[in-house]
Amino acid sequence: MLADALIVLVKTVLAMTWTLLLALFLTWVERKQSAVMQDRIGANRASVLGLRLFGLFQPFADAIKMFFKEDFSPTFAKRPLHALAPAVSFFCVAVTVVAVPFGDTVRLFGRDIALQVADLDAALIFVLAMLGLGVYGILLGGWASSNRFALIGSLRGAAQLISYEVALGLSLVGLVLVFPSLRLSAIVAHQGGLLFGFLPKWGVFLQPLGFAVFFLAGLAETKRVPFDMPEGESEIIGFYTEYGGLKFGLFMFTDFLEVIVLALLATTLFFGGWQVPWLGDGGFDVPWGGTWDLAPWAVTALRVLAFNLKVLFFCWLQILVRWTYPRLRYDQVMDFGWKVLVPLGVLNILATALVLAVR
């Protein structure tokens, strides 16, 4: 019993450390990628012992700056709730990582250890529920600030998130029909086969429309350009107008965590998770001939590496979209969610059910 608790604790620490370090790294990636796209150099002033390393120390400099900035609350703010709001947003997003399988089962010290903190029976429902609860952090932040503009931003944000959660949920119904399970580990396991003898049985090939709806709705859930309705960047206004220092930094950090969570879900649900095409437990078995035997540790390493590369790709893709498309109007965002994505989600469910019934 003690050993099991210790294993869960270690896996939790490793998963959260990986997530937080990746979020920190993404702040640098966004600076550099936007600079490359705009023909600039980007952040490169922070250094250690004269070493700049392309600005890699900039995220740590930002963290130090946030830590030492003044932490204030408006005079008429509801102080306990004002302080609680960033923590609610951060926790509801960060906790979803515990349900994601980072790899297959490994054998260590005579035990089979799953590279997943918690293999929940209703993991998909858990993730969607926690992301939905994150809306309370936005509402609390705007309402507790006692600022009308912050409140307007929080209401716009809540309306947007609730609207796109409908499309997000509908996009996954077809996937659950194809892979009949709500456990993320089981969904990944179902994607280990082949279609037509050579094509990976990934969700994106079985549910292309579902993936398109899911990814677009997920982009809106991250509240970033072109869907950044809760804030007006040019007007320096939004639900976190009255925040500074660590509290503001926590809200900003949560935005990058949402980028990671969307990348994790896209990888796990539609791109095979840790599955590598034609890689089995014993090594590679290429459909058109040839095998390559690998040691168990090498297979595990390749699967974990593949999972991380897929996640990094989707993080990069989201940053690319953020710096490519212009900001939409509020009415355009809401119309796109209710008049385009929701009908497409329903259509995908009907088409999937029809195909399964005919089979």
Euclidean distance between CA atoms 219 and 7, whole angstroms: 34
Walk along the chain (359 residues) and give the pLDDT tens digit of each residue: 788 899 999 999 999 999 999 999 999 999 999 999 999 998 888 899 888 888 999 999 999 999 899 888 888 999 999 999 999 999 999 999 999 999 999 988 888 899 999 999 999 999 999 999 999 999 999 999 999 999 999 999 999 999 999 999 999 999 999 999 999 999 999 999 999 889 999 999 999 999 999 999 999 999 999 999 988 777 668 898 899 899 999 999 999 999 999 999 999 999 999 999 999 999 999 888 788 999 999 999 999 999 999 999 999 999 999 999 999 999 999 999 999 999 999 999 999 999 999 97
Task: Locate the domains of the chain by residue range.
Answer: 1-358
72 Cα distance to chain centroid: 30
If phi > 0 it is left, if psi is from -120 to 50 it is alpha, else beta; for residue 11 that is alpha
Residues 260, 310, 256: CA angle, nearest 5 degrees: 15
> What is the pTM (predicted TM-score) of this model?
0.96
pLDDT score at 288: 81
Whether 305 contacts 130, CB under 8 Å: no
For residue 83, give Cα distances in angstroms to 155, 216, 247, 251: 19, 32, 7, 11
Quickly count: other Cβ atoms within 10 Å of residue 100's Cβ. Answer: 26
Coil vs helix vs strand at 137: helix
Quickly count: other Cβ atoms within 10 Å of residue 30's Cβ. Answer: 21
